[in-house]
Amino acid sequence: MMTHRISLSFTVVDSKGFMHSAGSRVTRIPQQRCSASWKKLGARSVGAQGARADSRRKEKEENNGGHVRRILFVAGGTGGHVYPALAIADEVRRLDPAVELLFAGTRERMEWLVVPKAGYAISAVPAVAIRRPFLCFPNLLLPAKVLYCMWVCWKLVRRFRPHVVVGTGGYVAGPMCLVAALSGSSKVVIQEQNAYAGITNRILGRLAAAVIFLAFAAASPFFPEEKCVVIGNPTRRALQQPIDAVMALCSFFPSVNKLDLDDDDDDDDDGSTQEVVVVLGGSLGAQAINEAVAGLVQSQLQQHPHRYFIWQTGTSHFQNIQAMGISHPRLTVLPYVDRMEMLYAAANVVVSRAGAITCSELLVTAKPSILVPATTVAEDHQMKNAMAMAEGGAAKVLAESELNSQTLASAIDEILGDKAGQKVMQEKAQKMAAPDAAVQIATQVLSLAA
């Protein structure tokens, strides 16, 4: 198994509980130790920084005529909730560098690592999850957990005093957005990523939200019509920047010589000899996809001398895949990838779940894809997302019930063996993409905070 270096951002937490990025270094840390270290960091407080933060806020307000817009983003749990919030926050900060931005999330999930690494402060809110079926033992304590969570949310709202609260989903979004609406001093904005709206956003849309940004018009019936704006899913600007595919590939294979790859491209009529398969299972991983890939990757690499695999297993599955001892010079196995722009730039085909944000990223980057919708998600919304892309000609759908090493290998070979078909899929994806969604949402959020 190849050993890879992982770049981590380190943070400090000020006395108000806001977590900030404080640089980075390259280190080798086991996954479990890394997770534990982040939890400890999140619990610490650096004295006297709260007063300095207040001083900086007053100075900023004086420099901006006494008014600085404050926006709170609430997102947590998975990349499908966190990355839309980061995309909007990036555009808000680009449009108004003086704006004060804060995220709310949980210490136990990916936002506690990803948000500070992106350069934003984050404050902890306890997650309250409703278990299914509803009549089960863990839900007996639900009322007490909800009350405690709302009390923490109330304290954060009073401390930060946001003009606008943007909820993009996750367990923390419901209580925080509801408290913000009840405070009377904050406007609530909801961003719904899926064609079939979740129960939390449906409730917030009717009780709390001033504006609801939808990715799909099909979600409109779940919300008051006068509040809805169909605008697409926000994706980060970095995904739209031109990146050399060979350079991106070499970033995942440091031992590969870029000059050799460039020479191979020059010898090929269509300018692309290497074939790069990117496997994604979402931030948490997908066991069914991982099992199928484990059964095909060695034979694929042996049969196709110019084929590469970049395999993101998800953090929860990484150690199990490592234990299998699967290794090859043209295989990179990673628990998680945070520089998605490099991953998409390297890819010729992507094997993935069909979460709404993943689908939007695939469209924006115009990557042919094989989508394996998760069967455990509410209302089967991943299948709806996948079928929408397939009907538009941008993806192929492989149901999990039909997924195995043979069917997945056949689907990969079918796409990579048809250069003309790849170009058609790319063109179809570009037509379906909404590349300006993040900046449009950011513009409207700032106008609400004015």
pLDDT of residue 5: 37
| Confidence band of 266 (pLDDT split at 50, 70, 90) | low
Average model confidence (pLDDT) for the chain?
83
Mean of the pLDDT values across residues 164-181?
91
Residue 43, C-beta contacts closer than 8 angstroms, at least 6 positions apart:
13, 107
Euclidean distance between CA atoms 211 and 359, whole angstroms: 23
pLDDT > 50? residue 175? yes
Higher pLDDT, 385 or 24: 385
pLDDT of residue 278: 98
pLDDT of residue 312: 94
Q: Is the pTM of this model over 0.85?
A: no
User: What is the distance in angstroms between the CA of the first residue and the CA of the last residue of the chain?
Assistant: 53
pLDDT > 60? residue 17? no
Mean of the pLDDT values across residues 174-200?
90
Architecture of the domain whose range is 7-50+64-235+436-449:
3-Layer(aba) Sandwich (3.40)
pLDDT of residue 94: 96
Question: 13-22, 37-46, 49-58, 331-340 — which one is most confidently predicted on average?
Answer: 331-340
pLDDT of residue 263: 59
Using alpha carbons only, give the angle 180, 185, 187 rounded to the nearest 5 degrees. 60
DSSP per-residue letters across 103-141: EEE-TTSTHHHHHHHTT-EEEE-------SSSSSGGGGG
238-432, what's its fold? Answer: Rossmann fold (3.40.50)
Mean of the pLDDT values across residues 353-360?
92
| Confidence band of 39 (pLDDT split at 50, 70, 90) | very low
pLDDT > 70? residue 1? no
Sign of dihedral through CA atoms 205, 211, 212, 216?
A: positive
Which H helix or E strand runs over 312?
strand 307-312
CA distances for 52 relative to 14, 19, 67, 232, angstroms: 10, 14, 19, 39
Strand 19-27 to 6-13 pairing: antiparallel
Mean of the pLDDT values across residues 190-210?
88
The structural domains of the chain, with segments of one domain joined by +, span: 7-50+64-235+436-449, 238-432
pLDDT of residue 16: 47
pLDDT of residue 66: 58
pLDDT > 90? residue 270? no
pLDDT > 90? residue 153? yes
pLDDT > 50? residue 223? yes
3-class DSSP state of 310: strand
pLDDT of residue 15: 44
**Tens digit of each residue's pLDDT (9 = 90 or more) over 273-322:** 899 999 997 666 689 999 999 999 999 999 999 999 999 998 888 999 99
| Confidence band of 344 (pLDDT split at 50, 70, 90) | very high
Mean of the pLDDT values across residues 400-429?
97
- The burial of 266, by beta-carbon neighbours within 10 Å (0-12 exposed, 13-18 middle, 19 or more buried), is given as exposed
